[in-house]
Structure 1
Amino acid sequence: MVKFLLSLSIFFTSAAQAAEKVGMPQLDPTTWFPQVFWLLITFGFLYLIVEKIVFPRLSDSIEQRNDHVSDNIDEANSIKDQAEKKYQEYLSLISNSKREAQNLINVNKQNLQNNFENKKKEIDKKLEEKMKQVSKEIEDFKKSAASKMGSISTEIAKELVKTVSKIDTNNASASSIVEEVSKKYLKGLN
């Protein structure tokens, strides 16, 4: 290995010394034709490789990438449209739900109000019937009280006359006295 490296260094140094003596070969007009020839062959070969192998692969790769990007954009737009539709459905569902809830509240409110009115009418009717019944009972009581009061007053007057004057009176005379007094003072009860 050392021998190889030594021989390689001798080769490069001798080539460098030869180039120093002759000058730069690129500026020597006798070497221009072979340089142009090899330039055309090298770049022509590279051009063919790039055109036939590298460029098609690169264009396919770019085209696939563009297709993939456009597919992703189309899919994103589709998802965006679906999301927008779902959002609109959501808004309409919320709106319908609010409307239905308000209708239910109004119906229930109206039903409660109607039930309240009906119950109030029933209670008023029962109260009126009770008031009529109580008024009738009061009138009956007044009539019976007036007639009972007459008999009681007759008894009291009879006893009072008997106690005060020591005279025994009959029921007819005591009741006539009570009737006269009740006509004068108790006119408002009948």
Structure 2
Amino acid sequence: MPQFDVSSFSSQLFWLVIVFGFLYFLISKFIAPKAETILMQRNSFLEENINHAEEYSKKAKSIENLRENKLDEVNLHVEELNKQAFELMDLRFLHQTKELSLVLDKKKEKALAEIKAYVDTFHLNEPVSCIKLAAFIIQKVTNKDADIDLLKKIHEKTK
């Protein structure tokens, strides 16, 4: 096997040191510093973004708290307005109820007065009313006109 030949070890070792040295120099002077700056910039960019995100998160929370406070205030105001509206409606309902009861009382008094007047006139004209009622009944039963004069004479005899 040629790789185990002792006579070629020195040239292989020489080229290994040269290639390794060149690659080490190339990586340490050019590639590693660029990679380091890229990583540093990336880290600083990410840290800035994280800081901005935290600031925006705090602002969003404060805005959310402010919105909730305003919403609570509006809800309280709406509840107060509803309460006032219900109170006004109750007052108006009570007022209308009183007005309607007064109107009903007046109409009831008027109706009672009319009934009393009718009863009084009925009692004054009771014979005439009874005769008219009897004539009406006779007409409905017999389908013929009743003799009112005859009914008057009958009524006078019964007194």
Which TM-score band (shorter chain)? 0.5 to 0.7
Post-superposition CA distance 1:88-127 (Å, at most 9, x none) = 1232233234323322432332232122112111211111
Q: Which residue of the partner structure matches residue 77 of structure 2?
A: 111
Alignment of 1:126 onto 2:92: yes
TM-score (norm 1): 0.49
> What's the CA shift for 1:60?
7.3
CA RMSD of aligned residues (A): 2.9
Change (3 A) 1:163 1:151: closer
Structure 1 alignment gaps of length 5 or more: 1-45, 167-190
Q: Which residue of the partner structure matches residue 16 of structure 1?
A: none
Which structure would you say has the larger Rg? Answer: 1
Structure 2 alignment gaps of length 5 or more: 1-13, 131-154
TM-score (norm 2): 0.57
Count of paired positions: 114
User: Which aligned runs of 4 or more in structure 1 are off by greater than 6 angstroms?
Assistant: none
- For the residues of structure 2 that align with 1:138 and 1:62, how far apart are their CA atoms? 109
Partner secondary structure for residue 125 of structure 2: helix
> What's the CA shift for 1:61?
6.0
Q: Which residue of the partner structure matches residue 85 of structure 1?
A: 51
Change (3 A) 1:156 1:61: same
- For the residues of structure 2 that align with 1:127 and 1:73, how far apart are their CA atoms? 78
2:42 aligned to which of 71, 76, 83: 76
- For the residues of structure 1 that align with 2:59 and 2:117, how far apart are their CA atoms? 84
